[in-house]
Amino acid sequence: MESRIDRIKKQLHGASYKLTPQREATVRVLLENEEDHLSAEDVYLLVKEKAPEIGLATVYRTLELLTELKIVDKINFGDGVSRYDLRQEGAAHFHHHLVCIECGAVDEIQEDLLEDVEAVVEKRWNFQIKDHRLTFHGICWRCTEKHAEEKNKENVNNPNNNEDF
């Protein structure tokens, strides 16, 4: 974790920015919540817990800066807020997302999976791909399991209700 911060510090310096205490606090929040997909407001509230004097504008500015430097990616799942997602260190491309339309959970796919598709697009459409956004909308494994359980319970109550026949 500390080394990760150090490397981010170096990236900032490389672009002649400083890792101020406010920026560091923001980066730490992102690192501590790597699984989540926080909005600027979310980040602000979490940073405020550790550094109450920080302003919302600074959080926005920091997130914008980190996005420029490709340390985080800004993504929008269609709910009207931008969310910020740490990029895997050394990842050439942004990872993919699974958004559950029932429970709203967002899971990540770190595997590339798009190599073949990108080769086709580069050649057939003569398009030089620099980055991508891929999101699947559907039903997550947790909701699928829950449905199965509910069906089980139903069948215990009504043993004749067997949809298989």
Partner DNA sequence: TGTTTAATGATAATTAATATCAAATGATAA
Partner DNA sequence: TTATCATTTGATATTAATTATCATTAAACA
Q: Which residues bind DNA (CB under 7 A)?
A: 17-18, 20-23, 39-41, 51, 53-58, 60-62, 64, 80-82
CB of 109 to DNA, least distance (A): 23
* 140 labeled binding residue: yes
For residue 87, CA distances in Å to 34, 56, 73 come to 9, 23, 6
Instruction: Measure the CA–CA gap between 80 and 77, rounded to whole angstroms.
Output: 8
Q: Does 87 bind a copy of itself (CB under 8 A)?
A: no
Binder to a copy of itself among 4, 136, 150, 152 (CB under 8 A)?
A: 136
* 143 labeled binding residue: yes
Q: Does 69 bind a copy of itself (CB under 8 A)?
A: no
- Of 140, 68, 82, 154, whose CA–CA distance to 109 is shortest? 140
Q: One-letter amino acid identity for 74?
A: K
Instruction: Measure the CA–CA gap between 112 and 125, rounded to whole angstroms.
Output: 20
Q: Does 28 bind a copy of itself (CB under 8 A)?
A: no
Instruction: Measure the CA–CA gap between 136 and 132, rounded to whole angstroms.
Output: 13
Name the segment binding a copy of itself (CB under 8 A); options: 21-29, 30-38, 51-59, 116-124: 116-124
Instruction: Measure the CA–CA gap between 59 and 29, rounded to whole angstroms.
Output: 11
Binder to a copy of itself among 130, 153, 157, 163 (CB under 8 A)?
A: 130
CB of 79 to DNA, least distance (A): 9
Q: What radius of gyration do the chain's Cα atoms show?
A: 21
102: helix, strand or coil: coil
Residue numbers at the binding site for a copy of itself (CB under 8 A): 74, 76, 78, 82, 98, 101, 107, 109, 113-114, 116-118, 120-121, 125-141, 144
